């Protein structure tokens, strides 16, 4: 089973298929944040060409938003960090993902699950962009710089305006 | 160590940033090999995606390099060279040898279109003079290593080693690496030898530079070594084992920033 959401951004609309069979926790988590409007008026705050675009944690002006509890890492679900897939961002602790996610801008094999050890957990893929790939490409290419103590921040905000289930 | 035994700054090679450049990036200590496929893939992606006008690799790009003749179709060295060829078609690429890949030679770099950077090299960019080194030559506390380094960096050793068949060289490289890893395992993190601060400041001073970039120690960070003298230590890379590490040091007109290529 999959669920589809539409993510409206200032660069255009992404249609995203969420795999709630293989990544039930991550999908439920993402939909819960979406339902309460957490992602509305947040930015893609970290954009690295040839790698990924990351968002879901900061309001414009690099103001970090509060999050709910961290979820378990579902990277062992067989889904790979292919181009245009969505995965949960986290700290170096394997089970620390909250609201932030990233869209892979290339096949990032090195982010895939290897083993259930602190050395091999990898990053949990839970969905993929099924239309609006050109929007992802456009976001990936924006000019970036240093802002609010962070690097690779788009110089002009790329906003997520809303995320709705369709 | 008393100051009169500090090594003098070796003959200084200088390069100047092109006036049109806006971004220069530095990486080191990737320790690439056929056994590190994910790190190699992350490095390849980085070289394709980076918007830098120049990328300087400051040593230990490869876990080991046993001679430019190892660059043969079907071998890891061949595919890595192809990545460098592509990278050099996009921007200026420079390579400085480290303690693992000091046998990367002129033939390999020429084939790849990559500029050889002697250790040390002074880079002038946007009015700054930045000294670049791998760093092992300044780790004076490890006297056994310094003796080993003098031996393997000699022209005679290089000549004799490269005369041997590829298979023999591979075996010798493996033995040297095992010996080095065994000796590292006997040490704790606190014992790891660092760059000698006085020697590093001496090099900067002699080069008319206030900023040093080095790798080798795998302890990334920027630190004031003496008033007015800063060093920037590059991170090692490992995308085959967590915690994933893939960091780039970036220099622009506005100064230094670090970019982590992991989520």
Structural domains of chain B ordered from first start: 10-260 (3.60.21.10)
Above 90 in pLDDT, residue A13?
yes
What is the pLDDT at residue B1?
45
The pLDDT score that the predictor gives to residue B191 is 64
Under the banding of pLDDT at 50, 70 and 90, the label for residue B190 is: low
CA distance A10 to A33: 19
Half-sphere exposure of A29 (CA within 13 A, CB side): 26
Q: Is A51 in Cβ contact with B46 (below 8 Å)? A: yes
Which residue in B188, B102, B94, B185 sits closest to B148, CA to CA?
A: B102
**From the list A50, A87, A151, which residue is nearest B45 (CB)?**
A50
Q: Tell me the C-alpha to C-alpha distance, in Å, between residue B46 and each of B29, B94, B129, B247.
A: 15, 15, 26, 10
**CB distance from A126 to chain B under 8 Å?**
no
Interchain pair B45, A48: CB under 8 A? no
Q: Check pLDDT > 50 for residue B2.
A: no
Read off the pLDDT of each residue in B39-48 and give the average, rounded to a whole number: 93
Q: For position B7, what pLDDT does the model report?
A: 78
Question: How much is the mean pLDDT over chain A?
Answer: 95
User: For residue B131, which of B199, B203, B70 has the smallest C-alpha distance?
Assistant: B203
CA distance A97 to A100: 7
Residue B185 pLDDT level (bands cut at 50, 70, 90):
confident
Output the six-digit token pair for B102: 């000091």
The number of domains in chain A is 1
Nearest to A49 among B39, B51, B243 (CB): B51
Q: CA A163, CA A103: separation in Å to the nearest integer?
A: 15
| Tens-place pLDDT, residues A46-93 | 999 889 999 999 999 999 999 999 999 999 999 999 999 999 999 989
The predicted model gives B224-246 an average pLDDT of 95
Look at residue B248 and tell me whether its pLDDT is greater than 60.
Answer: yes
**Residue B187 pLDDT:** 67
Residue B230 in tokens: 């800063």
Does pLDDT of B210 surpass 60? yes
| Chain A residues with beta carbon closer than 8 angstroms to that of B262 | 111
Residue A21 sits in a domain whose CATH number is: 2.40.100.10
Cβ density class A91-124: b for 16+ within 10 Å, e for less: eeebeebbbbbbbbbbbbbbbbbbeeeeebbbbb
Of B17, B25, B24, residue with least CA distance to B260? B25
Amino acid B176: pLDDT: 83
In this predicted structure, the answer to whether residue B263 has a pLDDT above a threshold of 50 is: yes
Q: For a pLDDT cut of 90, what percent of chain A falls above it?
A: 89
Contact B259 A48 (CB under 8 A): yes
Q: What pLDDT, on a 0 to 100 scale, did the predictor assign at position B179?
A: 79
Interchain contact, B38 vs A92, CB within 8 Å: no
Among A45, A47, A51, the strongest candidate for a mutation testing the B interface, having the largest count of B CBs within 10 A, is A51
Provide CB contacts within 8 A for A166, sequence distance 6+. Answer: A4, A5, A6, A15
Is the pLDDT assigned to residue B3 strictly greater than 60? Answer: no
Please indicate whether, in this complex, the C-beta atoms of B242 and A94 are within 8 angstroms of each other. yes
Domain that holds residue A46: 2-165
B147-155: which pairs have CB atoms within 8 A and are 24 or more residues apart?
B149/B99, B152/B102, B153/B102
Whether B259 sits inside 8 A of A52 (CB atoms) is no
For an interface test with A, which of B242, B245, B259, B260 has the most A Cβ atoms less than 10 Å from its Cβ?
Answer: B242
Pick the closest to residue B258 from B213, B205, B208, B216 (CA basis): B213
Q: What confidence tens digit (pLDDT) does each residue in B164-180 have?
A: 999 999 999 888 888 77
Closest partner CB to A123 (pick from B37, B250, B263)? B263
Q: Which helix (H) or strand (E) holds B40?
A: helix B37-49
What Cα–Cα distance (Å) separates residue B200 from each residue in A62, A96, B212, B230, B240? 38, 40, 8, 10, 32
């Amino acid at each position: 089973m999959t669920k589809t959401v539409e993510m409206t951004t200032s660069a255009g609309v992404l249609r995203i298929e969420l795999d709630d069979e293989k990544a039930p926790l991550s999908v439920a988590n993402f939909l819960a944040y979406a339902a309460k409007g957490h992602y509305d008026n947040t930015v893609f705050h970290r954009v690295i060409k040839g790698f990924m675009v990351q968002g879901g944690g900061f309001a414009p002006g690099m103001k970090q938003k509060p999050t709910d509890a961290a979820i378990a890492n579902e990277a062992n679900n067989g889904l790979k960090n292919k181009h245009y897939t969505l995965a949960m961002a986290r700290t170096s602790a394997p089970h620390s993902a909250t609201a932030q996610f990233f869209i892979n801008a290339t096949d990032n094999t090195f982010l895939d699950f290897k083993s259930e050890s602190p050395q091999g957990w990898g990053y949990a893929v839970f969905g993929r962009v099924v239309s609006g790939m050109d929007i992802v490409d456009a976001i990936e290419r924006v000019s970036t710089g240093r802002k609010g103590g962070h690097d690779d921040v788009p110089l002009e905000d790329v906003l997520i305006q809303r995320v709705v289930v369709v | 160590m008393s100051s009169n035994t500090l090594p003098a700054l070796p003959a200084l090679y200088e390069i100047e940033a092109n006036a049109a450049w806006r971004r220069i990036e530095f990486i080191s200590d990737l320790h690439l090999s056929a056994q590190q496929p994910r790190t190699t893939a992350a490095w390849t992606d980085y070289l394709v995606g980076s918007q830098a006008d120049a990328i300087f690799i400051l040593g230990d790009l490869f876990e080991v390099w046993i001679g430019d003749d190892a660059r043969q179709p079907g071998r890891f060295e061949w595919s890595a060279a192809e990545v460098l060829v592509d990278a050099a078609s996009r921007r200026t690429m420079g390579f400085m040898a480290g303690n693992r890949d000091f046998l990367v030679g002129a033939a390999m770099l020429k084939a790849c279109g990559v500029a050889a950077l002697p250790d040390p090299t002074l880079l002038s960019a946007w009015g700054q003079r930045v000294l670049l080194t791998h760093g092992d030559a300044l780790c004076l506390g490890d006297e056994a290593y310094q003796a080993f380094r003098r031996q393997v960096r000699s022209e005679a050793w290089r000549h004799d080693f490269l005369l041997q068949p590829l298979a023999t060289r591979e075996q010798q490289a493996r033995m040297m690496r095992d010996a080095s890893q065994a000796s590292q395992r006997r040490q704790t993190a606190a014992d790891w030898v660092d760059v000698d601060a006085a020697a590093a400041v001496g090099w900067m001073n002699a080069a008319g530079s206030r900023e040093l970039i080095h790798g080798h120690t795998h302890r990334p960070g920027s630190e004031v070594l003496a008033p007015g003298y800063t060093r920037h230590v590059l991170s090692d890379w490992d995308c085959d084992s967590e915690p994933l590490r893939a960091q780039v040091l970036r220099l622009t007109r506005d100064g230094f920033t670090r970019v982590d290529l992991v989520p």
